[in-house]
Amino acid sequence: MGTYLNPGNSGFTGIRNDTYVDKSGLIGLINDTIETPRRLTCISRPRRFGKSFAAKMLCAYYDKTCDSSALFDDLKIAADEETRESYRKHLNQYNVIYLDMTNVMGKSGGQNIISFIQSKVTEELASMYTEMKIENVFDETLIHVVELTGTKFVMIIDEWDAPIRETPEIEKDYLEFLRMLFKSSGTTDKIFAAVYMTGILPIKKDGSQSAISDFKEFTAVKPRKFGGYAGFTEDEVQKLCQEYDCDFAMMKQWYDGYYFRGVGSLYNPNSVMEAIRNDDFDSYWTQTSAAESLMGYISLNFDGLSKTVAELIGGGEVKVDTKRFANDLVTFRNRDDVLTLLIHLGYLAYDETTERVRIPNEEIRMEFNRIVRDVKRDDTIRRVRESEQLILDTVHGNAEAVARQIEKIHGEEAPLHYNSEQSLRSVIKRAYFSYGDEFLLFEELPAGDGYADMIYFPKKDSMMPALAVELKWNQTAQGTIRQMKERRYPDAIREYGGEILLVGISYNKEAPVGKRKHSCVIEKFDCKDCR
């Protein structure tokens, strides 16, 4: 067993020795591509979403120098009738070339990484097959090994785009290396039974990465059949919570929020496991290097970006066009390009049906809250300060100031959308977007005879009261409060036991644009009254 050639199954053995969520179904999808025109697969996912775990699993499964049956025989891939036959057929049958590109970059030092890869793989091949002929060109050496052994390679490249993202000066040589391996179907078909490649960003659309344009690509925007292997599914998290006696509702609040068609809810796997191991719901995202880049992206000077960030932090959703994104970290033409990048980095969840994005969960919202206060743009600073002041005015019962600020935020809406229910929610979310320090936001909580639109529920250590906020048209603010009581909205938080503030805001829908004065009533509500 080697480092780059046939690394064995020790990596996956360590994974199996710990708490393991069965993702072996991925093997069946790759097996379906073996010796077909679809043999080249590229998966893009954010950091800490299980890419390396999957790579180690595939190494253990395909590597011919080890017997991995004990690691897989109790998993879904071996039990499923549809995959059982192919599972046995391909188990430990191939020479595996495994390249973790971040690791390769670290070990190569000052040496050209292409020369480093070729020399190391060739060296390990020569050690394994002493009679092999070493050719002057790397792909010809691989072809000779296949002819000598009758065994093709499965190649696994983890973080394939790391050299391009981190050392762009070597991009040309690196892409030429990949072109040599994967661009010629004659060469590729002779060498590889299958290739599995992971990265953070999709393949560029401008043709500059044509070396890998033959790969079938599955991204965070369109994962298709690989969606269930991008994170933990709802069922998987529920089982983990039952096994380890964790609060599933809290797990969902903190780490859910990603959603793929045909799969449903997806959870950040790294954060779920950290919460279980530490018995603590916290933001583990901040411990990744991806967190360092958020500041730069949300600080970019594009029209509407500051307003959009405020709406997202507040719990809103916004429409985004993902189709024009250049698939790199430097080419931004507008707000949509920034939002699309944040989807690929895992900061935003994307619904391909509605083409809308949102901040997926409390963990990521905490990161946005932390970063947005350091953004130096004047309009962002203003929005943060105004939102913080609005919360203080609400808590202190300054109804006039609350009405004035909501009216100002509402005035940013286009006249066509001014009175829509979705717009009214958006106004509240943008106005109170800095709530994350003190509150958790719950929407549409069952509440007696209806649903409480938005309740800002104080965090465990907060001294704040709970806030139930509604914005209505064509009725008085006091009438809004009365409706909240009649529909028994406070029932939604009756177990809270602390102080609740009912915040009713209203305006005259028929008044001319620019003269729709808002009024507000803030009333304390005793939880004893809702029992």
pLDDT for 40 equals: 96
Pick the CATH number of 10-218 from 3.40.720, 3.40.50, 1.10.12, 3.30.300: 3.40.50
- Per-residue pLDDT band for 31 (boundaries 50, 70, 90) equals very high
pLDDT for 140 equals: 93
**pLDDT for 23 beyond 50:** yes
Mean pLDDT of 430-444: 85
Dist. CA 55–CA 7, nearest whole Å: 11
Distances (CA, A) of 346 to 200, 216, 258, 490: 9, 21, 9, 35
Which among 173, 364, 192, 351 has a CA at the least distance from the CA of 265? 351
pLDDT tens for each residue of 382-417? 888 899 999 999 999 999 999 999 999 998 877 767
Ordered DSSP codes for 237-248: HHHHHHHHT--H
Against a cut of 0.95, is the pTM above it? no
**pLDDT for 292 beyond 90:** no
- Per-residue pLDDT band for 286 (boundaries 50, 70, 90) equals low
pLDDT tens for each residue of 359-373? 999 899 888 888 887
**pLDDT for 529 beyond 70:** no
Lowest pLDDT segment from 34-48, 219-233, 417-431, 441-455? 441-455
- Per-residue pLDDT band for 291 (boundaries 50, 70, 90) equals very low
pLDDT for 63 equals: 98
Helix ranges, 216-267 (H): 234-244, 248-255
Lowest pLDDT segment from 116-120, 291-295, 385-389? 291-295
Mean pLDDT of 278-283: 91
Dist. CA 398–CA 400, nearest whole Å: 6
pLDDT for 370 equals: 82
pLDDT for 16 equals: 96
Dist. CA 87–CA 477, nearest whole Å: 65
pLDDT tens for each residue of 259-273? 888 899 999 999 999
**pLDDT for 234 beyond 50:** yes
Mean pLDDT, rounded, of the chain: 88
Q: Which residues contact 414 (CB under 8 A, 6 or more apart)?
A: none
Do the Cβ atoms of 406 and 520 come closer than 8 Å? yes
pLDDT tens for each residue of 175-222? 999 999 998 778 899 999 999 999 998 988 778 888 888 999 999 999
Dist. CA 366–CA 372, nearest whole Å: 10
Q: Tokens representing 190?
A: 């002779």
Mean pLDDT of 225-234: 93
**pLDDT for 495 beyond 80:** no
**pLDDT for 476 beyond 80:** yes
**pLDDT for 338 beyond 70:** yes
Other C-beta atoms lying within 10 Å of the C-beta of residue 434: 23
Q: Where are the domains of the chain?
A: 10-218, 232-372, 378-530
Q: For residue 186, what is the enclosing H or E element? A: helix 185-191
Of the two residues 472 and 24, the one the predictor is more confident about is 24
**pLDDT for 248 beyond 70:** yes
Q: Tokens representing 21?
A: 């969520």
Q: What share of the chain is helix, strand, coil (3-state, %, to 5)?
A: 50, 15, 35
pLDDT for 444 equals: 66
How many residues can be counted in the chain?
A: 531
pLDDT for 211 equals: 84
pLDDT for 473 equals: 85
The amino acid sitting at 197 is M
